Amino acid sequence: MKILFIGDIFGGGGRKMVKKVLPILREEEKPDIVITNAENLSHGNGFTTKAISEMREAGVDFFTNGNHVWGNKDGYKHLDDPHFPVIRPANYPSDEVPGDGYRIIEDSVGNKILIVNLIGRVFMRKDFDCPFKKMDEILDEVKKEKLAAIFVDFHAEATSEKYALAHYLDGRISALIGTHTHVPTADCHILENGTALMSDAGMVGAVDSIIGVRKDSIIKSFLNQMPMKHEPETSGQMVLNSVMIEIDDKTKKALNIYHIQKFSD
């Protein structure tokens, strides 16, 4: 089984890049399923149903999220719909939070894939539940399912927290891929017991930006320490960062993992 995971898609420029490049990647890499993080999909803050449909038409099968999941009510109000292909971090500390933190879906040939979204606690502004214990709970809940792969998007700031969770789950999941920092890490590898790891997949957005945002406002905020409105950069060269994971669907162990980076002309 081949899972293609695309890093955080940032705003309209990122969506345009996905529409341009993903059909080529599908032809070249032939993934069984394509997953991406949607928390920055609409103007860098949240997602809309229109943006989700746009990315579905481009070839994305399923969407995870992060701390900006609540950025647009048009999108998150649909999270309780079991047919809406979007989940949010599982370790929000309340049963009143809409949506699911994980979903089991099937690929084109009927293989069942567990997709889990978790959010980190180190350097994050909210008080989330423990992602380690939450993942234990999820694995216990699905233990009777005949799964071909278990994929985790861990939306976290600290590399140490991502590595710790990956090692904690090594051998129990197929892959843990980090999101949130928008900067791809040069650390694709497979852990001792068969779990693939990349601590951040990177983003899809403008190269000449500050993690997808126009440079001027970010620089000004660093200089004067005042909050500034973040506007996505939609012009100039774009980059698409993604990661391919090959998995043995009999053992759920990773066989290969590699980073794929594409630039616009």
pLDDT over 90 at 229, yes or no: no
Top-level CATH class of 2-263?
A: alpha beta
Kind of pairing between the strands at 254-263 and 238-247: antiparallel
Closest residue by Cα to residue 114 from 84, 79, 144, 152: 152
pLDDT in tens, 100-159: 999 999 998 899 999 999 999 999 989 999 999 999 999 999 999 999 999 999 999 999
What is the pLDDT, as a whole number, of residue 265? Answer: 86
Classify residue 206 by its DSSP letter: E
Provide, rounded to the nearest whole percent, the portion of the chain with pLDDT above 70: 100
Q: Is the pLDDT of residue 226 over 90?
A: yes
Confidence of residue 67 (pLDDT cuts 50, 70, 90): very high
Per residue in 25-63, pLDDT (tens digit) is 999 999 999 999 999 999 999 999 999 999 999 999 999
| 234 φ/ψ angles, rounded to the nearest 5 degrees | -115, 0
- Determine which one of 43, 68, 155, 180 is catalytic: 68
Q: How far apart are CA 23 and CA 34, in angstroms?
A: 11
Average pLDDT over residues 252-256: 98
Judged against a pLDDT cut of 90, whether residue 74 lies above it is answered with yes
Dig out the tokens for 81 from the structure. 């719909």
CB atoms within 10 A of CB 43: 18
Mean pLDDT, the chain, rounded, equals 97
What residues does each domain of the chain span? 2-263
- Give ∠ CA 79-72-82 in degrees, rounded to 5: 10
Q: Is 43 a catalytic residue?
A: no
> What 3-state DSSP class applies to 224?
helix
**Tokens at 2, concatenated:** 């081949």
- The reported pLDDT for the residue numbered 227 is 87
pTM above 0.95, yes or no: yes
